[in-house]
Structure 1
């Protein structure tokens, strides 16, 4: 009898140390019901790397077997450098290619034998017709969306990541952080009941001599809406595209923002640059050059010194809560005197991510 009891206890100890996968249904941002064995142990991660880390913590990286590498290394190389130094295991992850440049490899994904593929909505829309082999192999695909910059989609994507990584409480905390900032900004603006200032935002990767993309109902366009601005591009641009330079003159924005990233630092000496490792002096030099565009001297934004630079890499992520604050403060400076958006951005990293970025993330042009 004692032998049987010891044997029973042995079984309990053995099986008690094993985490059994449990099939659960995840409803992704497209409303698709996806059956996933959780916790997922072999994840192919298409995008939103820092959000995955913010929700799941560094340990969640142990469950990633591959990713779309150049979306990180080529789009924001300075970010990749600091993260990969801190987390050298990133170098060991397999690369399955990038959607935008046509290198995404279905075969590579299949070779990794993942138990889950996570894609951004924009990636899924491009790849949808090519994903059949992955679906036939029984690999579930979950779609997230931080690109649209809509609070419900940010919250849904975060809660999905919480479920996938087993960090539901942390996901709830992050979702509340984002929602609270968006609500606080909206509430102050609503109570003030002021006219909406007109605003124009442009991706400055082409420099002041050529007009870059502006945004309608996506990315920075959605952030403008959350910050209470009147987006002059909204009637002319659905998602992102340049608009006629004459239209900017006609619309006469009260605030202009030029976004930049680190990628163009050496590629184009005139392109707007912002981000990790970018000096305030260099960012200002490039931002001030936009004042010299034909016809811009007479614009309200230029004559009233309301030209700003923003970090492109601080969009499409939970960290862009700080960008809602930044845009709102630029539009309604007296309503947000007590808010320091850049400190919000830094504090978010200190609390939820393994690195604290150093560089230039938001600036105002020289007078």
Structure 2
């Protein structure tokens, strides 16, 4: 172990000689000094490639020397498309998670990274396991980003931060301008029109388990609902970003709309009742599974079911920098008369064409209201 650590420190010292030291402030407010542009990066979550794919679309894995093995399981449809274009990604060493205590510090040291990018939600577990201290002893900085706990507040600072670290500030600013412009196409209209706000229940990963129902508090998809001109029924019930409502609470709230978040979760719950959303989804099958979810006890007699305002949307909008597309689609469902000319499909297409290394394929949302 000591020999491994000594080798890692020597390699890091050699790398530092050809890079510039800068001090950045991460999303937790920590000031971190590191060598940039980073040439060797460990991703504490595989889905951070959503960010790197925007910054370095021609070679998003060029500087990734290790990553957590979650992308292939949580979003296998997009993983397959990245793998098809970048087959070398299969050779990148994978790690367990910081949160579940399976991260291997010695393995990380042997890869001599310039930085470890960690998601904000893993901070407490990282500190509890003293991973931060162990990595600091090796001269390996941790930088925290966030596009899950509070994506509206933190996604743009996270993108700007990663632009600094990777030496891709111009690419970061181009995406930020696009994201802000696309979000404003909803928020400006809602602000001016000040419409009546329909009540909305966000059914987080509906059908993933037999329990009902997971949802969102005031943040994440809960905030997407607010920005899109709706009222999240769980906002005053769930104190944090994520939590649960019981069937009685949902029935009593009698929401005007239900939005189920869905994905391809065969890796976790093979053949489950979840709604398969994502690129290339079988929309007929997704619609049938969505309709089956209206039969649950929690949906008994509610307005959303009676009027067909029952929808599903790609779950990973909650954990990606593409949140503004979700807000557009929600607004389209909640206020079709205000957003008749808004085309979230075209926004998603432009996002892929301008910023991402893979082609766009439909399949990110479906509704039982065919009007």
State the distance in 2 between where 1:151 and 1:181 align: 13
Q: Which residue of 1 aligns with 2:337?
A: 334
> 1:193-204 to 2 correspondence within 5 Å?
193-204=194-205
Q: Which residue of 1 aligns with 2:85?
A: 86
Per the TM alignment, residue 67 of structure 1 is displaced from its structure 2 partner at its CA by 0.7
> 1:161-240 to 2 correspondence within 5 Å?
161-206=162-207, 210-237=211-238, 238-240=240-242
State the distance in 1 between where 2:88 and 2:282 align: 29
Closer/same/farther in 2, CA of residues 210 and 152 from structure 1, 3 Å limit? closer
> 1:1-367 to 2 correspondence within 5 Å?
20-47=18-45, 48-69=48-69, 71-129=70-128, 130-131=130-131, 132-206=133-207, 210-237=211-238, 238-264=240-266, 267-294=270-297, 296-365=299-368
The number of aligned residues is 348
For residue 30 of structure 1, give the secondary structure of its aligned residue in structure 2: coil
Offset from partner CA, 1:158-190 (integer Å, 9 cap, x none) = 111111121111111111111222223111011
Unaligned runs of at least 5 residues, structure 2: 1-16
Closer/same/farther in 2, CA of residues 128 and 217 from structure 1, 3 Å limit? farther
Closer/same/farther in 2, CA of residues 261 and 181 from structure 1, 3 Å limit? same
TM-score by length of 2: 0.88
Per the TM alignment, residue 258 of structure 1 is displaced from its structure 2 partner at its CA by 0.7
- Whether the 8 Å CA contact 2:67–2:93 is kept in 1: the answer is yes
TM-score by length of 1: 0.89
State the distance in 1 between where 2:210 and 2:254 align: 19
- Whether the 8 Å CA contact 1:309–1:363 is kept in 2: the answer is yes
State the distance in 2 between where 1:43 and 1:269 align: 35
Offset from partner CA, 1:22-52 (integer Å, 9 cap, x none) = 1001111111111011111111111311111
- Whether the 8 Å CA contact 2:151–2:323 is kept in 1: the answer is no
RMSD: 2.0
Per the TM alignment, residue 114 of structure 1 is displaced from its structure 2 partner at its CA by 0.6
For residue 272 of structure 1, give the secondary structure of its aligned residue in structure 2: coil
State the distance in 1 between where 2:298 and 2:115 align: 52
Per the TM alignment, residue 205 of structure 1 is displaced from its structure 2 partner at its CA by 4.9
Per the TM alignment, residue 206 of structure 1 is displaced from its structure 2 partner at its CA by 3.1
